[in-house]
Structure 1
Amino acid sequence: MATDIKDSTHPVEAAAVMSLLPGRPRILALGEPTHREDALLDLRNELFRQLVEQEGYRSISIESDCMMGLLVDDYVTSGTGTLDDVMEHGFSHEWGAQAGNRELVRWMRAYNDVRPASEHLRFAGIDGPLEFWAASPRQALTALHGYLAAQVETDLLPCTAETLDRLLGSDDRWSNPATVMDPSQSIGRSTEAGQLRILADDLIALLDAQTPHLIAATSRHDWERARLYGRTATGLLGYHYWMADTSPARVTRMCGQRDSMMAANLLAVTEWGPALVHAHNSHLQRDKSSMRMGELPLEWWSAGAIVNSYLGEDYAFVATALGTIRHQGVDVPPADTLEGLLYALPEDRFVVDVPRLAAALGDARPAHRMSPWFGYASLDPAHLSEIDGLVFIKDVLQS
């Protein structure tokens, strides 16, 4: 069997990945099974550079706050700010402290610096301003209102900036981490939050209705950002609404809301041209995402599944699997697991042709590896049929 499996492997390079696909997809998604490992970011950077230079991809997105990511996009396209400032303030989840992300931003700026604006590479964060708790919708709502107020007649606006400020109140009420475990701490179903949801919908409706005027009066770039403000505001308000829920559906709806926001941001970046994205496997997979809360199993549709429903063959998903992360207690995988079979091959890293791998395995489905560390999610062999390609790294070493 090992010989047959070996026949399904290729070097980790753009040409090998593209050979697995029927054509160049509008979104090529590279997943990772764990975060904060520089070896995975270095591989991503190498592969994405090749895909940009050889296949014409026009944007790179990562699993980071979409509003903060605007600072990164400004820097890589126009040199606004400094690299240090952008790395400190342009990323959520402390991603800016990682050397691989710094190198990605530095390279994108250097790439754009010698090219005309029409050929610039764009950057986007696809996550909302949230993890399990959510930020205040103030920034997104006031930015959307400010954009419209500067361009349309005052009597067309559904409210004043002062009304928004009054309804929003203190940002501390929105960003309270206690709401994660205690829905009674959330203000997501308060009278003020309900009014804000209506106003956000009205502002987005006005943005849509005034599209020809707004693009002509400002620019498509500014109008696209206003749409991002609108998506973020409604997404956050919806997330806060479900944080205040007391039913068994609460966490499922919160997780689904986050992935839905990611999907909307991913679909938006395709308007810039072919797009590359890097995030956790669980967000990019075509299958449902799942987790357990105590004895309660939770399932929701991932961002990848949603985007795939819209794009079909124009969405491609390449997962990443790995053998060991010894500094996190993840040792050599059992031989009967998918990772164990791949670990037995001699190369340190390679791309796997998944259909050929499945043919080599035949009716023998590998066992699902159990992770000894919560921060690493092994690949479910049942998902192989929904993966376009697989990158395997034998050993992830501590930086």
Structure 2
Amino acid sequence: MAPDITHIAQTTHALEAAAVMKLLPARPRLLALGEPTHGEDTLLDVRNELFRNLVEEEGYRTIAIESDCLAALLVDDYVTGGPGTLDGAMAHGFSHALGASAANRELVRWAREYNTDRPASEHLRFAGFDGGPLEITGPASPRPALTALHDRLATLLDADGLLPCTAETLDRLLGADERWTDPAAMTDPSRSFGRSAEAAELRLLADDLASLLDEHTPHLIAVASWEDGDRARLYARTAGGLLRYHHWMADTSPARMTRLMGVRDRMMADNLLALAARGPVLAFAHNSHLQRERSSLRMGGERLEWWSAGSLVSARLGADYAFVATALGTIRHHGVDAPPPETVEGLLYALPEDRCLVDPRRLAAALGEVLPTPRASPYFGYFGLDPAHLADADGLVFVKDLARR
């Protein structure tokens, strides 16, 4: 027997920051907003509106998105009043073609405008928390992170004899970037440079440089700004993570793809934890990266499972981590039509609101013991809700229809 639509409607609220906070025991240091598919500006518009609400009503000052953490430094410099243009920030400050999004452009424009004439302590900040473009387009080279870390330590430390190598040694070991970024290495481990003698030496050097950074924390605090130290730690995390990722790209065991997924989400988690340490953050990425349960993906007939970034961060932050998933009704331009009525999405689609915030735990209680049917998607880029994990989220945003923009 289908649940009463009246009971379902009682679980919904207007989509605004105050309503989100009412679902939580306290304001979290890290509020994660997921999306069920990429490349849809309607979902980014929802994110932008919620972030503005959080800034104005709840004191949030940082937004972090699923984009290259190093490239995003350029956007952060721009929104905090640095030189350059909006066009330049969009062209060079994003990975995964996210700079072409009109909604992302509006976010960056608004953040820069908001920061104008405000003191630095009140500035909005922008961050990426992905380790780089680590997917089919070709993994990122460790060169930018490693050389930036080395340069920063050489500048900040009175380092006669302390640095484990010279810049020239790093350059020689790294070689041409093409040896690291070959897209064919994603499916052919023999094309990866990640287990070469040079890569093994670079992993040791990256570890030594990161250790040197930690060993000299009191000195660095005395001679440099907090911002300098924060960026140096970002370089260290990224260099080590990318070299670890390349190591597993060269692996030929059945664990290869699972390890790659896990390494990427661990890099995301480390970046999110570092961002949360400096104040409340809104993080935005795919639901599968931010959920508390294990992530899964079917690839080549094999089901891969790994712990998501959200599960890792939640384990560390506890109640200071909150996850709001997003579900949707249709993406007709991708062949995703109205959801079947026996699915969670179908039940929500019957409501009159175009978008709303749902209390997932009350919804799970209203649904009872018989779980709705999981929604099957005809579009590989969209993942429906798993009804079994509905109550593991702190909130659920429902968007009825996505239109092509």
Q: Distance in 2 between matches of 1:50 and 1:158?
A: 47
| Helix, strand or coil at the partner of 1:376 | coil
Residues in 2 aligned to 1:272 and 1:92: alpha-carbon distance in whole angstroms: 24
Q: Aligned partners of 2:352 and 2:113: how far apart in 1?
A: 36
The aligned counterpart of 2:141 is 136
Q: For each residue in 1:286-324, what CA deviation from the matched residue of structure 2 results, as whole angstroms up to 9, or x when unmatched?
A: 011101122221100000000000001100000000000
SS in 2 for 1:156: coil
Kindly provide the amino acid, as one letter, of the partner of residue 244 in structure 2. Answer: G
Give the corresponding residue for 1:99: 102
Does the 8 Å CA contact 1:60/1:122 hold for their aligned counterparts?
Answer: yes
User: C-alpha distance in 1, partners of 2:258/2:201?
Assistant: 24
Paired residues for 1:270-309 under 5 Å: 270-309=276-315
> In 2, distance between residues paired with 1:114 and 1:13?
27
- 1:12 partnered with 2:15: yes
**Amino acid in the other structure paired with 2:116:** D
Give % identity: 68
**Residue 337 of structure 1: how far off its partner (Å):** 0.5
**Equivalent residue number for residue 201 of structure 1:** 207
In structure 2, the partner of 1:150 is: 155
* Deviation, structure 1 residue 364: 2.4
- Residue identity opposite 1:138 in structure 2: R
| TM-score (normalised: structure 1) | 0.99
Q: Report if the CA contact (8 A) 1:79-1:109 is conserved.
A: no
Q: State how far apart, in whole Å, the 1-side matches of 2:42 and 2:119 are.
A: 32
Shift of 1:346: 1.0
Secondary structure of 1:31 counterpart: strand
Task: Point out where structure 1 has 5 or more consecutive residues left out of the alignment.
Answer: none
1:250 matches 2:256: yes
Counterpart of 2:337 (choices 314, 318, 331) is 331
2:80 partner SS:
helix
The alpha-carbon deviation at position 217 of structure 1 amounts to: 1.5
Q: How many positions carry a matched residue from both structures?
A: 399
For 1:394 and 1:191, how far apart are their aligned partners in 2? 53
**Is the CA contact (8 Å cut-off) linking 1:59 and 1:272 kept in structure 2?**
no
Q: TM-score, normalised by structure 2?
A: 0.97
CA deviation vs aligned residue, 1:48-107 (integer Å, no higher than 9, x gap): 100111000120000000000000110111232111100000000110110000000111
Matched residue, 1:167? 173
Q: Distance in 2 between matches of 1:131 and 1:183?
A: 14
Instruction: Choose the corresponding residue for 1:118, options 94, 118, 121.
Output: 121
Equivalent runs, 1:1-399 vs 2, <5 Å: 1-132=4-135, 133-152=138-157, 153-399=159-405
RMSD of aligned C-alpha atoms?
A: 0.8
Decide whether the 8 Å contact of 2:33 with 2:284 is kept in 1: yes
Inter-partner Cα distance in structure 2 for 1:15 and 1:364: 32
Residue aligned with 1:335, SS: coil
Report which stretch shifted further, 335-344 or 354-363: 354-363
- Deviations 1:334-382 (CA, angstroms, capped at 9, x unpaired): 1101100100111111000111111211112111000100011111111
Q: Does structure 1 retain, via aligned residues, the 8 Å contact 2:152–2:232?
A: yes
Write the distance in 2 (CA, Å) between the matches of 1:137 and 1:391.
37
Question: 2:34 is paired with a residue of what secondary structure?
Answer: strand
What amino acid sits opposite 1:33 in the alignment? P
Q: Which amino acid aligns with 2:54?
A: L
| Cα distance in 2 for residues equivalent to 1:148 and 1:14 | 41
Equivalent position amino acid for 1:149 in 2: A
CA distance in structure 2 between the partners assigned to 1:119 and 1:198 by the alignment: 39
Query: Residues of 2 paired with 1:360 and 1:136: CA distance?
Result: 49
Letter in 1 for 2:67: S
